[in-house]
Amino acid sequence: MAVKTQRTRMRTQDSIERQSNFLEVALGYSYDEAIAEARRCIDCKNPRCVLACPVEVNIPLFIKYLLEDALDEAFETIYKDNILPSICGRVCPQESQCEGACILGIKSTPVAIGALERFVGDYGMEKHLADTTVPELKHKKVAVIGSGPAGLANAAGLRKKGYDVTVFEALHKFGGVLQYGIPDFRLPKNIVENEVQNLKTMGVEFVKNAVIGKSLTIDQLFEMGYQSVFIGSGAGLPSGLGIPGENLSGVYFANEFLTRVNLMKSRSFPLSATPVKIGDNVAVVGGGNVAMDAARTAKRLGAKNVFIVYRRDEASLPARLEEIHHAKDEAIDFRLLRNPVEILGENRIVKQVVCEIMALGEPDDSGRRRPVGTGETVTFDIDSIIISIGQKPNPILKDNTFGLKTHSWGGIITDENHMTSIPGVFAGGDVVSGAATVILAMGTGKEAAETMHQYIQNKKT
């Protein structure tokens, strides 16, 4: 069967208008658009797309239901493997996962699986289709540390098995990076809140302001009768560049900047209590999703010129393709093959960034060509600089939990059942893998729910 059509483009908010608001940029498919796109799927016998999805969503099946106008069934099909379809449809790096493997991609453009998943997910959200029925309580308590996608998926899985689940979250809002990191223009917060609400409806208990390792230790959780513990504390500790000038005022780590804006709502300052200031010229260092989010957020706060400073070339940018396109449409200026070597200030406030011009050398371990310094530098005038070059696991749990084994970079070591060096303590998501993706975090959280169930059942009481 020949593919006659190119994929249906998703409508977006006007690229000028959106630079001064925080409303969602990608507007989603209408029903007709979704059907038009769904028709492109050729329902492969051995669907490559499914294997390339970390949680193996049955993509051809949900698309088939969609075409039959059986939207409830389409939703249930996705939900069986992925409890966060509205979120993953928006933020998964589809081009390197499901869509990257779609057979249509070879000769034409792949089926817009993410957009279809978003359409079906949003339909399910509106119609409250998420299955919140749960078995009667078994009265065995389990504790989940962190309310990011790993923790949420783990809590859902365990609650479905009849456990009495408590989620402990350090911050005052639930959702992890979905709440404090990814901005509203990519992921409206009501979607995250809806997912948390579903879990509350299922009877999962959520405790905010509880820093495990400090407020309560893991030992104390066991003393309190929790049978098993899941650590989904993420990779929230920002890495610095380690160059002179990094502690000048006006030098932000992306987490601080995004937290001020998303979690503390400083974008409405002075009507909210937490301020943020960035000035007219903002440099963002890095090329991943975090950098794109920081740059586009800076633009929306009124910065005139926002540069992405990245040490490799365009093809190596690790961000989702869609974010790179959206950033370009919003006049974000990409200064590629530039590596910051020093930040200069005046009266201890940032003024300029000096960058070494890089060239591409031989491929490195990541398969991308290694950037090598040319010795030449360029200097940009800036009012602030936002460092977005990566995150490591937070050390609080490691430092306060006796016997919890970690890698030298801080990641928690787990076995094939997601169990840590402490019996009964499991872990998943970014705290194990290092900064990765929502769907991978969700996937391990869900798998760990299975293995924790087995562990508790096999444990002699």
Partner 1 sequence: MYQIMAKKTLNKDVDLMEVKAPLVARNAKPGQFIILRVDDEGERIPLTIAGIDGDLVTIIYQKMGYSTQLLGKKSVGDFIEDFVGPLGKATHIRKKNHVIGVAGGVGSAPLLPQLKAYHDQGIKVSLILGGRTKDHLILQDEYAAFCDHIYLATDDGSVGEKGFVTDVLKKQLDSDPTIDHLIAIGPVIMMKYVTLMAKAHGVSVDVSLNPIMIDGTGMCGNCRVTIANKTYFACIDGPDFPGEEVDFDELMSRQSYYKDEEHMCFIDLDNHGR
d(CA 85, CA 81): 9
Indicate whether 175 belongs to the interface with partner 1 (CB under 8 A): no
User: At which residue do the structure tokens 């990608």 appear?
Assistant: 26
Q: Which part of the chain contacts ligand FAD (CB under 6 A), choosing from 65-73, 123-131, 162-170, 419-427?
A: 162-170
Q: Count of residues binding ligand SF4 (CB under 6 A)?
A: 27
129-148 binders of ligand SF4 (CB under 6 A) = none
Residue 409 near partner 1 by CB under 8 A: no
Where on the phi/psi map is residue 243: left (φ > 0), alpha (ψ -120 to 50), or beta?
beta
Give which of ligand SF4, partner 1, ligand FAD, none residue 97 binds (C-beta under 5 to 8 Å, depending on kind): ligand SF4
Structure tokens at 42: 């050729």
Q: Which does 104 bind (CB under 5 to 8 A by kind): partner 1, ligand FAD, ligand SF4, none?
A: ligand SF4
Q: Which is nearer to partner 1, 130 or 432 (CB)?
A: 432
Q: Minimum CB separation from ligand FAD for residue 373, in Å? A: 28
- Please tell me the distance from the alpha carbon of residue 116 to that of residue 34, in angstroms, as a whole number: 6
Using CB under 6 A, which of the segments 70-78, 127-135, 295-303, 427-435 binds ligand FAD?
427-435
Nearest to 383 by CA among 298, 324, 300, 326: 298
Q: Does 82 bind ligand SF4 (CB under 6 A)?
A: yes
d(CA 251, CA 187) in angstroms, rounded, equals 26
Closest distance to ligand SF4 from the beta carbon of 364 (Å): 26
Task: Note whether 291 and 254 are within 8 A (CB).
Answer: yes
Among 36, 61, 70, 103, binds ligand SF4 (CB under 6 A): 103
Looking at residue 283, the DSSP 8-state letter turns out to be: E
Q: Identify whether the C-beta of residue 232 lies closer than 8 Å to the C-beta of residue 150.
A: yes
- d(CA 435, CA 278) in angstroms, rounded, equals 26
Among 57, 145, 171, 308, which residue sits at the site for partner 1 (rule: CB under 8 A)? Answer: 171
Shortest Cβ distance from residue 131 to partner 1 (Å)?
Answer: 31
The CA distance from 212 to 345, in Å, is: 39
Question: Do residues 351 and 345 lie in contact, with contact meaning Cβ atoms separated by under 8 Å?
Answer: yes
Q: Which does 79 bind (CB under 5 to 8 A by kind): ligand FAD, partner 1, ligand SF4, none?
A: none
Which is nearer to ligand SF4, 43 or 314 (by Cβ)?
43
Determine which helix (DSSP H) or strand (DSSP E) holds 371, and give its type and residue range.
strand 369-381
Which tokens go with 200? 């509350």
Residue closest to 166 by CA, chosen among 195, 189, 146: 146
Out of ligand FAD, partner 1, ligand SF4, none, what residue 167 binds, judged by CB under 5 to 8 A for its kind, is none
For residue 408, the minimal CB distance to ligand SF4 (Å) is: 31
Residues 171-190 within binding reach of ligand FAD (CB under 6 A) = 171, 176-177, 181-182
Residue 145 partner contact from ligand SF4, ligand FAD, partner 1, none using kind-dependent CB cut-offs of 5 to 8 Å: ligand FAD
Q: Strand 281-285 relative to strand 384-387: parallel, antiparallel, unpaired?
A: parallel
In angstroms, the CA 179 to CA 189 distance is 7
83 belongs to the binding site for ligand SF4 (CB under 6 A): no
Smaller CB separation from ligand FAD, 394 or 420: 394
Q: Does 230 bind partner 1 (CB under 8 A)?
A: no
Angle at CA of residue 174, ends 168 and 179, nearest 5°: 140
When asked if residue 272 is in the footprint of partner 1 (CB under 8 A), the reply is yes
Q: How many whole angstroms separate alpha carbon 357 and alpha carbon 378?
A: 7
Sheet holding 349-363: strands in order across? 338-346, 349-363, 369-381
Q: Name which of 42 and 237 has its Cβ closer to ligand SF4.
A: 42
Helix locations, 127-258, DSSP H:
149-160, 177-180, 189-201, 218-223, 254-258
Is 414 a binding residue for partner 1 by CB under 8 A? The answer is no
Q: Which one of the spans 85-93, 174-182, 300-308, 351-359 is the region binding ligand SF4 (CB under 6 A)?
A: 85-93
Residue 247: CB minimum distance to partner 1, A: 6
Token pair belonging to 10? 């998703």
What are the structure tokens assigned to 132, written together? 């919140």
Please list, in sequence order, all residues whose beta carbon lies within 8 angstroms of the beta carbon of residue 16, skipping any fewer than 6 positions away.
none
Q: How many Cβ atoms sit within 10 Å of the Cβ of residue 273?
A: 10
- Using CB under 6 A as the binding rule, whether residue 147 contacts ligand FAD is answered as yes
Based on the shown chain and the rule CB under 8 A, indicate whether residue 220 belongs to the binding site for partner 1.
yes
What backbone phi and psi angles, to 5 degrees, belong to 428? Answer: -165, 170
Q: Footprint of partner 1 on this chain (CB under 8 A)? A: 170-172, 180, 207-211, 214-217, 220, 236-238, 240, 246-250, 252-253, 255-256, 259-260, 264-265, 269-275, 277, 347-349, 394-396
Q: Footprint of ligand FAD on this chain (CB under 6 A)? A: 91-93, 145-151, 168-171, 176-177, 181-182, 210-213, 232-234, 236, 258, 289-290, 293, 320, 394, 396-397, 429-431, 435-439, 441
Q: Footprint of ligand SF4 on this chain (CB under 6 A)? A: 41-44, 47-49, 53, 55, 57, 59-60, 82, 88-89, 92, 94, 97-98, 102-104, 111, 113-114, 117, 439
